[in-house]
Amino acid sequence: MEIISSIFYFILAGLFEIGGGYLVWLWIRDGKSILFGVAGAACLIVYGLVPTLQPPNSSFGRVYAAYGGIFIVLSILWGWKIDKVIPDKFDLIGGGIALIGVLIIMYFPRN
């Protein structure tokens, strides 16, 4: 159950980070209202809080290293679903490698 909740928190953090960054992007790059920027900043603050919900035995460095792999995969999915950029085989291979790294860093048994 701890692994499932950990994965949930990784995904939640990713959605807040990518969503927040996207809202700031829309504000600055696409000329949307400053409210997009404010909402994006709020999402980015929540993103900073969510990783602290990882299991107590997880170190900051390990959590953020593993999160990098989750971020890669979520960014590919975001680009596909939101920006309509279909991932190619290299995106998929890279994302798969990143996920393998996440599994090793976070969930591989240690002595």
With 80 as the cut, is the pLDDT of residue 91 above it? yes
pLDDT the model gives residue 1: 77
Q: What does pLDDT average to over the chain?
A: 95
pTM over 0.85: yes
For 81, the token pair is: 């679903």
In this model, does residue 57 exceed pLDDT 90? Answer: no
With cut-offs at 50, 70 and 90, classify the pLDDT of residue 12: very high
Dihedral Cα 56, 58, 64, 65, nearest 10 deg: -170
